[in-house]
Amino acid sequence: MANVGSLASAALSETGGVFRLAPNWVPRSFLQPGRRLKLHPDDYYALGMNRGGIDERWLGSTTEAANDNRNQDEGLSYCVHNGERFLLRDAVAELKGEIIGDHVWDTYKKWPVFSKFFDNMGPIPHHMHQNAEQAAQVGQEAKPESYYFPPQMNAIGNNFPYTFMGFEPGTTKQQVIDCLDNWDKCDNGILNLSKAYKLQPGTGWLIPPCVLHAPGSLVTYEPQWGSDVFGMYQNLVEGRVVPRTLLTKDFPEDKRDDNEYLVEALDWDKNVDPNFKDSNYLEPIVSEEGDGWVDKWIVYGKIDGEQLFTAKELTLQPGAKCTVKDGGAYSWITVQGSGKVENMTLQSPVMIRFGEMTEDEIFVTASKAGEGVTYGNTGREPLVGLRYFGPNTQPKAPAVGDYQK
């Protein structure tokens, strides 16, 4: 195959700064697919029954999925141009700031974020993601994340459209230690210490590291840091046993039997915050609008004082056209309708066979995003796309809580 740098440069030259990306499917052995990712019904176990069902599609990803027995390229997005395929990760490594912007490349030497759709029939175990210091102890990075629930993908809520988050104020650390002590005895009861929030399509949440959360059964668009670390603190979900290895896998080996250490690893103040919803809940905020189109912030705010990722939702009515400018590179996924991005087709598919190419996903380089990208709706229904951005590229993004203004 030709040099990735040459292939990537040729693709960007022909498209004016836009990569076409192929669907990137990821299974999870401990979850049941919700079957709303538009995969053909026969393909949810295409990677093998032993691997579990496909319940995630990763978007604009240069991050490997941390799955046992995974394929070598699992979680990594491929660019496709003139019949050639190459990893987005390799293209970034070759062209650096030309793709992701000099500031992002100089700071991180990679595309440090990604997003995904996750889609489950029921809830995920109550879990946290380690902070930077904790993750570094096992050679990984922190994983702050965010959620948005696209209405187009949530016509039904499946079994449990509620998410437990944090702990009720007044919960003690000893109560949580007791839960972990009961791991192999019975349901450890950790959800008795938490509160569930009903999930509403068209809204979202910002989740810092070390905060427990048990995502519910809505299809979730999840911009996040480029890591796959976690620790699961719930041992039984819908009658399914969660192996203790999923609690301890990303903690130092000499601490994996120390339940007090595992509880101290939680950010206690954030978990028992009496104003948890006000501190973390998001609703869309209009960024720009014009004749027949509107661009909204759907993920915004800072985590521990730093803007790590943001996301927008662009909607164009039939016949509408607009040019949007952004402060950095972004990954786009079409969730409704059909149209054009520059001279490239956009189409949200009805059904996808595993391994099949689609026309719904692109990656826009930093320079092109700054110059402006033109979108047009050529169909008879709204054209809707979600796009997420890397760190410190959107200084005008709102703060958490600004939707109330």
Section 329-357 average pLDDT: 98
* pLDDT beyond 90 at 30: no
* Percentage of residues in the chain having pLDDT higher than 70: 100
Predicted confidence (pLDDT) per residue in 47-70, tens digit: 999 899 999 999 999 999 987 788
* Percentage of residues in the chain having pLDDT higher than 90: 96
Q: What are phi and psi of 290, to 5 degrees?
A: -150, -155
Look up residue 175 and give its two tokens.
Answer: 């109560």
Spatial contact of 149 and 204, defined as CB atoms under 8 Å apart: yes
Section 237-242 average pLDDT: 93
Strand order in the sheet with 373-377: 321-324, 373-377, 338-341, 344-347
- Predicted structure pTM score: 0.97
d(C-alpha 244, C-alpha 234), whole Å:
9
Spatial contact of 28 and 69, defined as CB atoms under 8 Å apart: no
Predicted confidence (pLDDT) per residue in 159-179, tens digit: 999 999 999 999 999 999 999
* pLDDT beyond 70 at 75: yes
d(C-alpha 98, C-alpha 114), whole Å:
18
Per-residue pLDDT, 280: 98
Per-residue pLDDT, 68: 78
Three-state secondary structure readout of 121-181: CCCCCCEECCCHHHHHCCCCCCCCEEEECCHHHCCCCCCCCEEEECCCCCCCHHHHHHHHH
Which residues neighbour 370 within 8 Å (Cβ) at sequence distance 6 or greater?
Answer: 325, 326, 327, 328
Per-residue pLDDT, 313: 99
Section 124-135 average pLDDT: 97
Cβ count near 380 (within 10 Å) = 9
Per-residue pLDDT, 1: 46
* pLDDT beyond 90 at 71: no
Predicted confidence (pLDDT) per residue in 261-319, tens digit: 999 999 999 999 999 999 999 999 999 999 999 999 999 999 999 999 999 999 999 99
Which residues neighbour 64 within 8 Å (Cβ) at sequence distance 6 or greater?
Answer: 70, 73, 74, 75, 76, 228
Say which CATH class 285-404 falls into.
mainly beta
Predicted confidence (pLDDT) per residue in 3-21, tens digit: 999 999 999 999 999 999 9
* Confidence band, pLDDT 50/70/90 cuts, at residue 338: very high
